[in-house]
Chains A and B, each alone.
Chain A
Amino acid sequence: MKHTAREWGCMSWNKSVRIVTLLAGVACCAAPLAAQNVTDEMLKHPPRDSWPGFHGDYTGRRHSALTEITPGNVANMTLAWTFQTQQNGSVKSTPILVDGVLYFTTPDNIWAVDARTGHQIWHYTAPPNKAFHIGQRGVSIRKDRIYYMSSDAHLLAMEAKSGKILWDVVVADSNKGQWATMSPLIVGNHVLVGASGDFDNLQGFLRSIDADTGETQWNWYATPPVGTAKTTSGGNIWMTGTYDPELNLVYFGTGNPTPVLTGKVRPGDNLYTCSIVAINPDTGKLSWAFQPSPHDTHDWDAVEIPVIVDAPFAGAPRKLLMQASRNGYFFVLDRTTGKNLLTTTFGPTNWTLGVDKEGRPIPNPAKEPTPDGRLIAPDESGLTNYRSPSFDPKTGLFIVSASPSYSLYFSKAADGTYGWAGADYSLWSKGVLEAIDYKTGKIRWSHELGQRAGSGVLTTASGLTFSGDSAGNFLGLDTATGNTLWHAGAGGPISSTPITYELDGHQVLLTSGGSVIYTWVLPQAATKKMAASK
């Protein structure tokens, strides 16, 4: 059959229409699918082009498999874009990335931003509230919803595509003194949240909230109900935990006991304050607990990231958990049983009488705060704190932003037994990145950071360590040696942890300094992008 041009034209026109219709059909029917569908599988094994949770994956190692940026080329990195939040405080959140969209926060603010351009897609601002606004560590995502803890300790579920609020549940009563900064840990349909608040005697808790409905599934309390005689209150859970899907256990650190600086009214170990706890996310039942600071009187929360590592220990493959704790001690535990394998210090400490047979430091009663003061190392902000560490499997290094420090601690009868109940004053501190060999606890290298620094740590499989110093320099180091390979001035204090991901086939490093987000790529990635656009 012979066709005329017109017929061909007509046919192709028809075809075009069909195609258009088909495309329209795809667009129409796939619209809900094209929206983020973050599955359990994705949270367990994040694709290269995503960073779908606070730690990236569930392990808390903050170690990326990406290798395009290497020790050899890191110095060539160039700025891709910046995003100015134009807020007062600095960004303390870890952004999450799903389907090319970044979500990050400051207190009372959430932004959804195009990861390719830094262009804002939406911006949510919370209604005014009286809670502490000291930080917000980021939102979490599941299916097509993001989950946000407000400063006044509500959990909000929002449409990821628009920021529209789907539900809002009160997690803690901020009028009683609890507030929130936490990025929720999502495991299956459980949204796991806690709150901060040791200025009042309150009960620390971990709550599991149904991701779909907002209903409470279970509560786990760190301490007995407030007012129980001769027991402690406190044990607030305010940092994102980690998760082992095989053991089906979540790991969280709990905060300090209250009253904070006096222990007289709360004799004993004060379980489960300053503890690492392993909890079944389906039932809320405690599997085991290990206490880094029994009977704490120095405000040393043990909330620092409980990092999950599968690696040999003493010759045998082990399921390990590691924590560099605020009290100055580094712990390696068996995360199946909670049994202690290693306890060591990673900087100056002077508050113990040694280590007990379970591997717990034994607090020296003579170092409890007194009316005339006690010299204590580390200071109240701790040898480390909320700043995320990183574990590099190749070198076996646990790298943590540490702060050797000394302080004076006071407490007297007039300070009472409610909330702070004393006073402490830091005398001196400095910042140093410590690379700890997890098998021995020995420090393999140290990298001075000036004063106490605010950045967490990221490592990559190509052998790079990213962090920041106290002067506001982003740092790229050789993981093997700690030597600097790249740096750039942020123009403000660095208070978050760098992340890395792949975008359009190229590795991106994201950092924040002050209230600004920065993304970095290799020049060829930037050039390719330009060529493609021509």
Chain B
Amino acid sequence: MPVHATFTGTQIENGGTLFLQNCAFCHGKDAGGGESGPDLTRSALVTADKEGEGIGAIVRNGRIEKGMPKFNLADGEILSLTAFIHAQQDKAMSQTGTRKGVDESDLQTGNAAAGKQYFEGAGGCSKCHSETSLAGVATRFKSLQLEMQMLYPRNVKSKVTVTPRGGQSMTGTLEYQDEFTIGLKDAAGMYHSWPVAMISYKVDQPLEAHVTAFSKYTDNDIHDVLAYIQTLK
């Protein structure tokens, strides 16, 4: 069982009310997943959290890129929420028999040999990846996380090259992009931005192939490739 601080019954109860009002729609009433939000009882971040240091940071800052807004809650409220989430995780993990939600054992229906063939052939995966470049991926990611990472890797930054009119090109990590503005971080970590109308720019989109692949896979292909990827420990 995960180790965390001890919370009072009142903290858990107050946290339950706050959770219902603010979190339950996305994460489910029991924190086991709801509309668009993940199952928090299976969250590595929750498991690592001791007394709100991890959970609190997410609640306060949100995960804007994943659609989670930030919440302006007081310290005591954050602690209560943390108490409730830990209590729910403890409950889910101490459950006997088959647990609800996605288990690693559910994700073993593919054929690794067929997956390797698809990876190297029809899937076109080997245009960018190889067994060497993916070595250890099944150790770094497990279960559903591995499958999600395989289908559309998270936290991959794009590179952008910006050429201001009549100026020197600059290449860096794409930090901001909307219809009107491009922002990048240079090698030294400095942020620069330009109005789109005053530059030409090129964003490399390493993940575009993953988007294109969505409309090509069958469910069997996905399970086969997952079985193959699961061998890359």
A associates with B: yes
Question: Which residues on A are within 8 Å of B, measured CB to CB?
Answer: 88-90, 130-134, 151, 177, 199, 299, 348, 350, 366, 371-375, 377, 379-381, 406, 408, 410, 412-416, 419-420, 423-428, 448, 450-452, 469, 471, 473, 475, 484, 487, 493
Scan B22-56; emit 1 where CB is below 8 A from any A CB, else 0.
10110011000111101100000000000000000
B107 on interface, CB distance cutoff 8 Å: yes
CB B160 to nearest CB in A, in angstroms, measures 15
Please measure, in the bound complex, the distance between the C-alpha atom of A151 and the C-alpha atom of B17, giving whole angstroms.
14
Please measure, in the bound complex, the distance between the C-alpha atom of A475 and the C-alpha atom of B217, giving whole angstroms.
36
Question: Which residues on B are within 8 Å of A, measured CB to CB?
Answer: 17, 20-22, 24-25, 28-29, 33-36, 38-39, 65, 67, 69, 71-72, 97-102, 106-109, 144, 147-148, 151-152, 176-180, 210-211, 214-215, 217, 219, 222-223
A131 with B21, Cβ < 8 A, contacts A412-B106, A415-B101, A427-B148 known: yes
CB A316 to nearest CB in B, in angstroms, measures 37
Contacting residue for A408 out of B20, B98, B100, B151, CB 8 A: B151
Contacting residue for A199 out of B21, B29, B102, B210, CB 8 A: B29
> Which residue in chain B gives the minimum CB-CB distance to A89?
B69
Residues of chain A contacted by B147 (CB below 8 angstroms): 373, 408
A374 and B219 within 8 A (CB): yes
A90 and B177 within 8 A (CB): no
Residues of chain B contacted by A131 (CB below 8 angstroms): 20-21
> Which residue in chain B gives the minimum CB-CB distance to A421?
B100
Question: A90, A423, A484: which has the most chain B beta carbons within 10 Å?
Answer: A423
A452 with B25, Cβ < 8 A, contacts A374-B219, A380-B35, A425-B148 known: no
> Which residue in chain B gives the minimum CB-CB distance to A484?
B179
Please measure, in the bound complex, the distance between the C-alpha atom of A151 and the C-alpha atom of B25, giving whole angstroms.
13
> Which residue in chain A gives the minimum CB-CB distance to B102?
A410
Please measure, in the bound complex, the distance between the C-alpha atom of A32 and the C-alpha atom of B210, giving whole angstroms.
64
Q: Can you list 16 A-B contacts (CB < 8 A)?
A: A88-B72, A89-B69, A130-B21, A199-B34, A348-B215, A350-B215, A373-B106, A408-B147, A408-B148, A414-B97, A414-B100, A424-B36, A471-B176, A471-B179, A473-B178, A493-B69
CB A343 to nearest CB in B, in angstroms, measures 20
Instruction: For the A-B complex with A299-B35, A451-B65 known, give 13 more contacts whose Cβ atoms are closer than 8 Å.
Output: A134-B25, A366-B219, A406-B152, A408-B144, A412-B100, A412-B106, A415-B100, A423-B101, A425-B148, A427-B151, A428-B211, A473-B178, A473-B179
> Which residue in chain B gives the minimum CB-CB distance to A174?
B20
> Which residue in chain A gives the minimum CB-CB distance to B64?
A493
Contacting residue for B210 out of A299, A374, A408, A428, CB 8 A: A428
Contacting residue for A469 out of B22, B35, B100, B178, CB 8 A: B178
Residues of chain B contacted by A177 (CB below 8 angstroms): 29
Residues of chain A contacted by B217 (CB below 8 angstroms): 375
